[in-house]
Amino acid sequence: MKQYYWYKGQLVNSSQIQISLDNPGLLYGATVFTTLRVYEHNLDHHLTDWSSHCERVKNSLNFFGWNQPDWKRVRNGAELLQEYFPVLRITIFPDGGELITGRVLPQNLPQMQTDGIAARMIDRSLYRSFPQHKTGNYLAAWWAKISVCNSQPTCQEAILIDEVGNWLETSTGNLWGWGQGCWWTPPLTGKILPGIGRSHIYSYLQTQNQTIRENPWTPEIINKLETLAYTNSVVEIIPIHTVIHPCQQLQYNPYHASLEILRRFFTT
């Protein structure tokens, strides 16, 4: 089945793409990208937050010393594709060329948002390359999720950990927990992605006079949590009701009243 995508200024209706064999994006995953959800077919909707996604990509390109794309052309491509897809992935190559692809929302997203999912803690040998940037070298996070889902079909996510076993993030999002009357989220220490969704939720909770603690997620912290969730710009908030640990299963309440505070952000 053919699929629309945007590549270097052209809207293409095909399931194939032509790319040079020596392209570093193909050879080494040398790209940066961002994935956004388009609300109400509007790139300027406050929840779509086009500007923050572009700024993320710009900062990563500057970090690697790569060329900036023609941002007007990128915007044109995104405006065309958002008519077909609610989710867009904008990828930029080192030479500044852009590739924009689209996809639909997960079919079971409403159920996951309501009832939650199960996750498994992954081996510490799997960690993301350049964790502060969304690069095309996403093998570790992708493989973590795939291996978890293949080995335990009841699990939909993997939890990445650091060298001493502290929880960092899931393979696709940032972690949030509620316990002892406040919110907890792992700190931005250079080991996790500073997610755009995370930033918005953090700011929103502050406006609601909610206490937020950024502490390394040691076993002591994890055992304090009453509810657990992960967030990203596409799925919004997904509770995690079960975490399969090497020695035990941890249970959390996916219907905890505190989660309504997070959900409120996406309805305002």
Task: Check whether 1 has a pLDDT greater than 70.
Answer: no
Residues 123, 37 share a domain? no
Q: What gap in Å lies between CA 56 and CA 59, rounded to an integer?
A: 5
Residue-averaged pLDDT of the chain: 95
- Domain of residue 150 covers 109-265
Number of domains in the chain: 2
Q: Above 80 in pLDDT, residue 109?
A: yes
- The per-residue pLDDT for range 9-36, each reduced to its tens digit, is 999 999 999 999 999 999 999 999 999 9
In whole angstroms, what is the distance from residue 69 CA to residue 75 CA? Answer: 10
Average pLDDT for residues 198-204, to the nearest whole number? 96
Same domain, residue pair 66 and 132 = no
* Domain termination site, one of 38, 68, 103: 103
Instruction: Quote the pLDDT of residue 247.
Output: 79
Chain segment 163-196, per-residue pLDDT in tens: 999 999 999 999 999 999 999 999 998 789 999 9
Residue 13 and residue 99 in one domain = yes
CA-CA distance, 176 to 217, in Å (whole number)? Answer: 10
Structure tokens at 243: 């975490």
pTM for the full predicted model: 0.94
Q: What's the Cα-to-Cα distance from 46 to each of 35, 36, 127, 232, 263, rounded to whole Å?
A: 15, 12, 32, 15, 15
Terminal alpha carbon distance of the chain: 37
What is the per-residue pLDDT for 122? 92
Average pLDDT of the residues in 224-233: 97
pLDDT band at 2 (very low <50, low <70, confident <90, very high): low
Task: Report d(CA 216, CA 197) in Å as an integer.
Answer: 20
**Three-state SS at 232:** strand
Buried b / exposed e along 203-220 (16+ C-beta atoms within 10 A):
ebbeeeebeeeeeebeee
Does 197 share its domain with 237? yes
Q: How confident is the model at residue 140 (pLDDT cuts 50, 70, 90)?
A: very high
| 215 and 256 housed in the same domain | yes
- Look up the CATH number of the domain holding residue 239: 3.20.10.10
Tell me if residue 10 falls in helix, strand or coil. Answer: strand
pLDDT attached to residue 197: 95
Cα 73 to the center of its chain, rounded Å: 25
Q: Which of 20-29, 43-52, 245-254 has the lowest mean pLDDT?
A: 245-254
The CA distance from 262 to 176, in Å, is 10
Same domain as 243, residue 120: yes
Length of the chain: 268
Looking at residues 223-249, what average pLDDT do you find?
A: 94
Cβ-proximal residues to 52 (8 Å cutoff; 6+ apart), any chain: 196, 199
Whether residue 15 sits in one domain with residue 94: yes
pLDDT at 147: 92
